[in-house]
Structure 1
Amino acid sequence: MFDAMTIENNSSSFRRPRWHEIDEAWYLRQHPEIMEAIGTEEIPDIVAYFEKIGQGYGHSPNCYFDELWYRQTYPEVQREILRGHYRSGFEHYCQTGYRDHSPHWLFSEQEYRRRYPELTQVLFDREGFLNGYDHYLQLGLSQGRIGHRFFDPELAWMMSEKYPECFDGAEGVFGSYIDLPATLPDAERVSWYFDPVWYLQRYPEVALEIAQGRYRSALHHYLTNPSPRQYDPQEHFSEAHYQHAHADVMPSVEQGIFRNGYEHFLRFGEREGRSPADGIDLVKYMSRPRVRADVQHGLYAGPFAHWIATRLHHPEILEEASMPSEAQTRALFLREAEALLPLLARQGLNFSHQGLPEISVIMVVHDQIALTLQALASLRGNYSGEIELLLVDSGSHDQTAEIEKIVKGAHILRFRHNIGYLDGCNKALARASAPVALYLNNDLRLYPHAIANAVTRLHAEPDIGAVGAKLVRTNMRLQEAGSIIWRDGATYGYRREDDPNIAEANFVRDVDYCSAAFLMARTDILKDLGGFDTIYRPAYFEDADLCLRIVRSGARIVYDPSVMVEHLEFGSSGALRSQAMIRANHRIFARQHQDYLRQQQPAHVRNAVLAREHRDRRKKILVIEDRLPLRSLGSGYVRSNDIIRTMARLGYQVTVFPVLSRETTLVERSRDFPESVELIDTRDLNHFADFIQERAGYYDLVWVGRTHNMARLLPIMNETSRYLPVDGTILDTEVVAAPRSLERAEVLGLNPPSGSLEELLREELECARYCRRVVAVSDHDASLIRRVDYENVSVLGHSLRPRPTARAFAERHDLLFVGALHDEESPNYDSLLWLLRDVMPILDPLLPPDIVLTVAGYVHPSVDVSVFAYYPRVNLVGALKDLTPLYDRHRIFVAPTRFAGGLPYKIHEAASFGLPVVATELLAEEVGWENGQQIMSASSRDPAAFAQAIARLYHDEALWSRVRQGALEEIGRDCSPKRFENSLEEILQNCLVP
């Protein structure tokens, strides 16, 4: 290899990348005419020919580098070639371009880095890769990684199986594909985003250009032709439609920011749900749980790719799936029970127990042996503890008469006639010896951990008398999520017919009653009350009456959605007979409790929200935020999450409503919020007016997080004020943004916002006039708010307790940055750029060469973090569930923020873990800490001073220990969870007092 192609690399283990070689065999196939010029003393071989002649003609050295495309794509390189600074684009790429340029029309260095931000320069240096392209060719392809949105290795592998003779195992699918014989590349898709067959049919002139050798394939033409807006990539994307439907995109296309509308769609529009062609609604399509799951797990790059793949392989899925009727699902439930019968009859079930049982399970059965055994198998499999099974055989005529041969250890109460459900339960209750009794139907199946969750809930508080389940019918619609007793004595299963996963069905609350299909209660209470009242025999309303008597005795009935049961409604009796008994017993129930019922809500579905909690005296708070405040999001969301948790702990009933629609998972929601909090995850600002009207009079307080949300909501709240609490709105500013806007303009050299600071404050806080109280995150922000005549200000900071990690100074290594990157205009994004561009070059010689900067935190999909990955000391780890190991392993936390507002949570959090902080003077002033005592700080206008502060703290153990201890003491005093709780309670109580 000639020295002109030498790559700058100091590693002793340097391995020449595949793209760097001159592939002589390939080169000769492309240019057979060169054989006439080879063999002389001046040009002895192909390599010499390429060096002295070929690269001047614009030849490519191998299939992995496209010389002509490179020159066209980077005109500045072409200019350098013409000036004689480089002999070819390949020479430029080998010497400098490999760092950030793309070498081929089918691989994008930027896209590869952006798609896989964990592929940092630190990783490449450690594992011996020169750049992303080197990694992709050597390892990424085999891992199924995508280097260009128009080349999916999985589809290429499928193509290779059809044409094995054309794919070289040594070159891999990428090299083989770009070197395929003419016309073959157009035979199959290698991306869901481009259809070569349709493309050539739609544009027959392209086939002629390919035949003339101007383009290698249809895909090559689409990606490199000089009129990109004149061609559609496939049947289901239309440039004309996209330009017309999304006019806001066109200025960016006209300015050349995007090559065409399709490039914008693939970068942003697909994720935003923009329509690619008439009749394709990606928002609706993405709302399907299966589609969301497939995209979130990386099976497809986006919903459009999913839609195309589904249309080609499973078009039936695109049609709205018709759910089977309930009659069909009921029949299936019965068939499944019958299918299990032989297995259970052979293997049996064992309910033997030693000593005092934990639970007495009461089940009344009349025939239906298959259903009974299915229910008992579900019970036994659901809970391994000691169960006393009290099985009442109420005059069965089928194999139930011999059930003791199958079910060992059961206490069977057998009656020759059908004594009915109510009397059967009472007979069994008299025999119950466990402290907990469970009424359980024989026509149901228990979902995982139902028994254990119910037991835990029952014992959670001493005044809980009974626990009920989320009952789901066989058609996977709700039977009830707790039940309501109306003023006329009628009952209503809350959210009946709805999806079991809706927010309203998935938080713990006290209710009027729960169905005895699954009702767990304290045995002593049941016996004191005499079980079911015999006036309701044979059945129906006995459970509503029992629950009401439990409540009137001073105990609570709690609905717990983690106790989930599938129920064959009316499986134990005919529906017509059941309806007749229901009507009769309703009249009895209404007479028996008419004095109590007068205080219940009138019977109307619009009153269901008011009635869903049993006469709950807890105050109800509606918390409004940008989005459901997951802790992993950072940027004030941790504090919002702490506010919600504390409200719940103080005994308030909290509903969280997001202004913006953002996808969250059930796992995230269940992990980050108390089980008693209602999370509205399917609505946003567009639904707020209807939501408030549906819940007229329900809330005692409205807590609005972030001033911009209050500004958005103000017109709606003015219009719907009759449905909202009078004088009951609190604005939690989270940050006063006006100073930050001025600082940002000054730091970045932008035109400042018009007006003085006071004028900007008045404009920002104008919406606060609607509110009874304004909350600031710090005394500094509170003073700014008072500056524009708001005296109704309270301060609520952060909730943290000191929890220093164990490692000593000498055991720690590296620098840590933690911060969410929600957009590229954010303070965190700017601070990272400043740290890497301005500070790190000064810091480099001051630190050992193996020291790296770990960057952790949530990254919004729209944020390109690949720019950070190029720096040799950066290790990107993204959002982590638990940051404790990072705080324990690193030596210093850096907070290089140049413009910000509010109170920096990240500094408090790092300090609470015992990790000393180097921050800008701006942040040090916001927390009120002294340089050299609780924090190290320097001006954001002096990168050298900031670098010196990092180096000094990194090397000086005594200083490190002093700063660590000082910050821990500050956290213990200023961020005490008890202090946070007391402050929040005071704010709420002041607003609840008339």
Structure 2
Amino acid sequence: MSFSVFNESFYLAHNPDVQTAVKAGFFASGLEHFQKLGLAEGRVSVSPFYNEQYYLRKNSDVATEVALKTYHSGLEQFILAGEAEGKVSVSPFYDERFYLQKNSDVATAVTSGNFRSGLQHFFAAGEAENRVFISPFYDEQYYLQKNPDVETAVASGILRSGLQHFILAGETEGRQASLLFDEQFYLRKNPDVAAQVANGRFSSALDHYLQVGKLIYLSGTNFNEFGYIGLSTLQKVNPDVEASVKAGYFGSALEHYIQYGQFEGRRAIFNGTKGNDTVTGFGQVDAIYGVDANIFQEAYAGSLTGGQALYFGSGINEVDVLVGGNGQDTFVLGQTFISRVGYYGYPFYRGNGDADYARIKDYEIGKDEIVLAGAASNYDFVQSGDSLNIILSRFGYENQPLTTPDLIAQVEGVTSVSQIESKLRFAGGYI
């Protein structure tokens, strides 16, 4: 039995009645209270690196024992038996495989039997030694660069590391901890998650993503996880990536893309939400959408296929900024659907005239591509200052003029359609 998971200051902060009792002299410390009473009372807030809900979800046998009242809590099972059994999934913010990969001396110590696991080492020494590589979703250098107040506190000795701040405060404050996850994007994209965070079911958007979201291919950033694996479950693009993520070799499809995929020429999809977004692509080949994207049941010609597919939103009431990277960017401004009666084209940003459109930045003439729904005959291309406006002006089988032409996009740095016509692609279908 080991109490190495226990953190005195964390326990007292999360159990104010115990803190009062310790100050009054009824207990010498929070640990004494926990050992005598707290453990049997089911108090599980003992460390920023232990999450009761996560432990039970990852260890269904323990959840069953707790339900049968064999143990008062998953924490009690972990202390009495679980740690000795090598159960290391105690928090969404600790990744055993990652910790051992980043700390080869610890991996050697575990192999030689000096420690049962990397987790045991982290509790016993690693945290105090400022070993901050505990998860692919936390990047110490990135966190300090993004949070100069934290960097100052670490430099002055107030904090041991950025990780200490992130675990104690930064996570619940919604501070972004790595390129792999954007807290604010995830909450905008998933308002139901925002509600669950608000009511305390999850400590943060990242907590939800690591426990639930990544398992159902939700995206933690503008990079579309499902789209990188394949546009549908029946037509996989990168099945090897999916298998590697499921096996735990990568924390997400985005992690694979950052480390390998972008240099291998694998195509990525970047998209926005239902609101105004700035979406930036990177890598050698990418498709950039300002509109929302969601996973629903796949249908072909109006019939369900039994799989799932990626569907894009309309862009109505949105003004999105699409920013190209250094590679070959495809700016997507519409899509085509196949129905029982034919092909239909659906331009994004159609419906409110000049009030909703995409602003394309860093377009590279002769290299980047623009995709539009319908045909060239549906559009007018009009110079506006140092930009080119793409306007939906005709629709229907006979290309009837729209009563009010509709601005779809504005391409900065382009003044003539002749500059982009070789890279204009029309997805087809009747608008």
Normalised TM-score (structure 1): 0.24
Cα distance change, pair 212–125 in 1 and its aligned pair in 2 (3 A): farther
Quick one: which of 82, 85, 92 aligns to 1:149? 92
Cross-structure match for 2:10 = 69
Q: Deviation at 1:66?
A: 0.7
Answering whether residue 2 of structure 2 is matched by residue 18 of structure 1, we say: yes
Cα distance change, pair 80–162 in 1 and its aligned pair in 2 (3 A): same
Cross-structure match for 2:340 = 693
If you compute each CA radius of gyration, which structure gives the higher value, 1 or 2?
1
Quick one: which of 291, 305, 308 aligns to 1:680? 305
Q: Is the 8 A contact 1:67 1:89 kept in 2?
A: yes
Q: Deviation at 1:139?
A: 1.9
Cross-structure match for 2:163 = 219
Secondary structure of the 2:103 match is helix
Alignment of 1:410-421 (within 5 A): none
Q: Is the 8 A contact 2:226 2:310 kept in 1?
A: no
Find the aligned partners of 1:206 and 1:685 in 2 and give their Cα distance.
39
Find the aligned partners of 2:180 and 2:104 in 1 and give their Cα distance.
27
Q: Deviation at 1:101?
A: 0.6
Q: Deviation at 1:234?
A: 0.6
Alignment of 1:112-123 (within 5 A): 112-119=55-62, 120-121=64-65
Quick one: which of 131, 136, 141 aligns to 1:192? 136
Q: Deviations over 1:429-467 (max 9, x none)?
A: xxxxxxxxxxxxxxxxxxxxxxxxxxxxxxxxxxxxxxx
Quick one: which of 89, 104, 109 aligns to 2:52? 109
Identity across matched positions, percent: 22
Cα distance change, pair 256–148 in 1 and its aligned pair in 2 (3 A): closer
Cα distance change, pair 173–249 in 1 and its aligned pair in 2 (3 A): closer
Cross-structure match for 2:403 = none
Q: Deviation at 1:76?
A: 4.6
Q: Deviation at 1:231?
A: 1.7
Q: Is the 8 A contact 1:183 1:217 kept in 2?
A: no
Alignment of 1:722-871 (within 5 A): none
Q: Deviations over 1:694-713 (max 9, x none)?
A: 79xxxxxxxxxxxxxxxxxx
Q: Deviation at 1:684?
A: 7.3
Secondary structure of the 1:139 match is coil
Cross-structure match for 2:122 = 177
Q: Deviations over 1:198-253 (max 9, x none)?
A: 22233343244335554343222101027732521112322333343334443444
Find the aligned partners of 1:65 and 1:245 in 2 and give their Cα distance.
36
Alignment of 1:259-338 (within 5 A): 259-278=203-222, 280-287=223-230, 288=236, 289-296=239-246, 298-299=247-248, 305-309=252-256, 311-312=258-259, 315-316=262-263, 319-320=266-267
Q: Deviation at 1:83?
A: 6.2
Secondary structure of the 1:221 match is helix
| Corresponding residue pairs, total | 271
Find the aligned partners of 1:177 and 1:684 in 2 and give their Cα distance.
41
Q: Deviations over 1:919-972 (max 9, x none)?
A: xxxxxxxxxxxxxxxxxxxxxxxxxxxxxxxxxxxxxxxxxxxxxxxxxxxxxx
Q: Deviations over 1:683-732 (max 9, x none)?
A: 57979xx777179xxxxxxxxxxxxxxxxxxxxxxxxxxxxxxxxxxxxx
Find the aligned partners of 1:219 and 1:262 in 2 and give their Cα distance.
15
Secondary structure of the 1:682 match is strand
CA RMSD between the two structures: 4.2
Q: Is the 8 A contact 1:151 1:191 kept in 2?
A: yes
Amino acid at match of 2:306: D
Q: Deviation at 1:87?
A: 4.2
Secondary structure of the 2:49 match is coil
Cα distance change, pair 692–95 in 1 and its aligned pair in 2 (3 A): farther
Find the aligned partners of 2:90 and 2:131 in 1 and give their Cα distance.
18
Amino acid at match of 1:194: Y
Amino acid at match of 1:73: H
Find the aligned partners of 2:83 and 2:207 in 1 and give their Cα distance.
24
- From the two aligned structures, give the one with the greater strand fraction: 2
Cross-structure match for 2:180 = 236
Q: Deviation at 1:284?
A: 1.1
Find the aligned partners of 1:124 and 1:153 in 2 and give their Cα distance.
29
Q: Is the 8 A contact 1:109 1:132 kept in 2?
A: no
Cα distance change, pair 295–151 in 1 and its aligned pair in 2 (3 A): same
Q: Deviation at 1:117?
A: 0.7
Cross-structure match for 1:587 = none
Cα distance change, pair 684–236 in 1 and its aligned pair in 2 (3 A): closer
Amino acid at match of 2:78: G
Q: Deviations over 1:838-890 (max 9, x none)?
A: xxxxxxxxxxxxxxxxxxxxxxxxxxxxxxxxxxxxxxxxxxxxxxxxxxxxx
Cα distance change, pair 679–202 in 1 and its aligned pair in 2 (3 A): closer
Alignment of 1:836-915 (within 5 A): none
Answering whether residue 33 of structure 2 is matched by residue 92 of structure 1, we say: yes
Secondary structure of the 1:91 match is helix
Find the aligned partners of 1:226 and 1:85 in 2 and give their Cα distance.
33
Find the aligned partners of 1:258 and 1:96 in 2 and give their Cα distance.
26
Q: Deviation at 1:136?
A: 3.8
Find the aligned partners of 1:312 and 1:684 in 2 and give their Cα distance.
26
Q: Is the 8 A contact 2:44 2:52 kept in 1?
A: yes
Cα distance change, pair 161–216 in 1 and its aligned pair in 2 (3 A): same
Answering whether residue 110 of structure 2 is matched by residue 161 of structure 1, we say: no
Quick one: which of 111, 131, 145 aligns to 1:201? 145
Amino acid at match of 1:105: P
Q: Is the 8 A contact 1:229 1:259 kept in 2?
A: no
Secondary structure of the 2:212 match is helix
Secondary structure of the 1:70 match is helix
Q: Deviations over 1:536-584 (max 9, x none)?
A: xxxxxxxxxxxxxxxxxxxxxxxxxxxxxxxxxxxxxxxxxxxxxxxxx
Cross-structure match for 2:357 = none
Q: Deviation at 1:72?
A: 1.7
Q: Is the 8 A contact 2:154 2:161 kept in 1?
A: yes
Q: Deviation at 1:112?
A: 1.2
Find the aligned partners of 1:163 and 1:225 in 2 and give their Cα distance.
27
Find the aligned partners of 1:316 and 1:660 in 2 and give their Cα distance.
30
Q: Is the 8 A contact 2:92 2:211 kept in 1?
A: no
Q: Is the 8 A contact 2:172 2:203 kept in 1?
A: yes
Secondary structure of the 1:233 match is coil
Answering whether residue 84 of structure 2 is matched by residue 138 of structure 1, we say: yes
Find the aligned partners of 2:297 and 2:26 in 1 and give their Cα distance.
52
Q: Deviations over 1:617-648 (max 9, x none)?
A: xxxxxxxxxxxxxxxxxxxxxxxxxxxxxxxx
Q: Is the 8 A contact 2:186 2:221 kept in 1?
A: yes
Q: Unaligned stretches of 5+ in structure 2?
A: 231-235, 269-294, 313-336, 343-431
Find the aligned partners of 2:217 and 2:126 in 1 and give their Cα distance.
35
Find the aligned partners of 1:75 and 1:304 in 2 and give their Cα distance.
36
Cα distance change, pair 694–95 in 1 and its aligned pair in 2 (3 A): farther
Find the aligned partners of 1:152 and 1:161 in 2 and give their Cα distance.
15
Find the aligned partners of 2:84 and 2:135 in 1 and give their Cα distance.
21
Normalised TM-score (structure 2): 0.51
Find the aligned partners of 1:193 and 1:81 in 2 and give their Cα distance.
36
Find the aligned partners of 1:193 and 1:685 in 2 and give their Cα distance.
25
Find the aligned partners of 1:181 and 1:255 in 2 and give their Cα distance.
30
